[in-house]
Structure 1
Amino acid sequence: MSLHFEVVFTCFLRDDTPDTVLASLRWHLGLADERPAELDAEEHAYPLLTPDPDSRLPGGDFAALRRVQASADRCTWGLFSRTYWLDDEIGSLVTILDLLAPHVEEPGHGGHFREEYDVKPTVFTFKSGTYEPLIL
């Protein structure tokens, strides 16, 4: 029997995040139909963050990427994704973490994953253009 996980990404990306990264995120989030040519088809075999309309998560899956006014003279890209993953896919977290980490606006919390019946999540932490090692 497979385990199932709630996977949440929640962070701000710098306004100067390259268009190629934003295009990749849009594809992973299901906001664009075609995989960007810059993405390695083996590493990015299918969109990882696309909401499933039939998700078993309470409240369902959700995905958003939007440019927000962070202050009078600064914008950021707000990312939020909450999706339901099978245990076979959980190793693909690093694909998204590697995509995000160099562009995160502020170090710290970036999301979490948890087995659907667990109380405590495993938190993603971004720092200095990378992320803290995960124990999967």
Structure 2
Amino acid sequence: MSLHYEVVFNCFLRRDTPEPVLAALRWHLELDRERPADLDPGIHTFPLLAPDPDSRLPGGDIASLRLQSRGFAAGGELRAWGLLSRNYWLDDDLGELVTILDLLAPHVEEPGFGGYFREEYDTEPTIFTFRNGGYGPFTF
């Protein structure tokens, strides 16, 4: 019997995140249907963050990527790409987390919390963090 996981990505990406990274995220979130031509199908095998309309998670899956305000500074409004994704994954797919973490890590706006995953009946999530262009240690 397979285990199931709630997988959540919740972070800001820098406003200057390269368009190929944003295009890859939009494809993974199924905000764009066409796989970007420069996206390696050997690594990005299928849209990992696509919301399932029949998800078993309370409230369902979520997929959002938008340029949003982070407040104001002397130079004007601060804006960043807000990513929120919540999906229901099979344990067989959990190794694919690395695909998304590798895509996000170099572009995260601020170090710290980036999301979590947890087995559907666990009360304690495994948190992942971003720092210095990489992501924090965790185990499956």
TM-score between the two structures when normalised by the length of structure 2: 0.95
Structural mapping, 1:8-87, within 5 Å: 8-72=8-72, 73=76, 74-87=78-91
Shift of 1:37: 1.2
Q: Distance in 2 between matches of 1:94 and 1:20?
A: 18
Q: Is 1:110 equivalent to 2:99 in the alignment?
A: no
Q: Distance in 2 between matches of 1:29 and 1:134?
A: 24
- 1:44-102 Cα shifts (integer Å, max 9, x gaps): 01000000000000000011000012233321000000000000000000000000000
| Further displaced range: 50-59 or 65-74 | 65-74
Aligned AA (2:126):
T
- Identity across the alignment (%): 67
| Further displaced range: 36-45 or 95-104 | 36-45
Q: Distance in 2 between matches of 1:45 and 1:71?
A: 37
Q: Note the residue ranges of structure 1 that are not aligned, 5 or more in a row.
A: none
Q: Which of 106, 118, 125 in structure 1 is aligned with 2:129?
A: 125
TM-score between the two structures when normalised by the length of structure 1: 0.98
Tell me what 1:2 maps to: 2
In angstroms, what is the RMSD of aligned CA positions?
A: 0.7
Q: Number of matched residues?
A: 136
Q: Distance in 1 between matches of 2:66 and 2:129?
A: 21
Q: Distance in 1 between matches of 2:38 and 2:70?
A: 29
Q: Note the residue ranges of structure 2 that are not aligned, 5 or more in a row.
A: none
Shift of 1:134: 2.3
Q: Distance in 1 between matches of 2:127 and 2:37?
A: 31
Q: Secondary structure at the match of 1:133?
A: coil
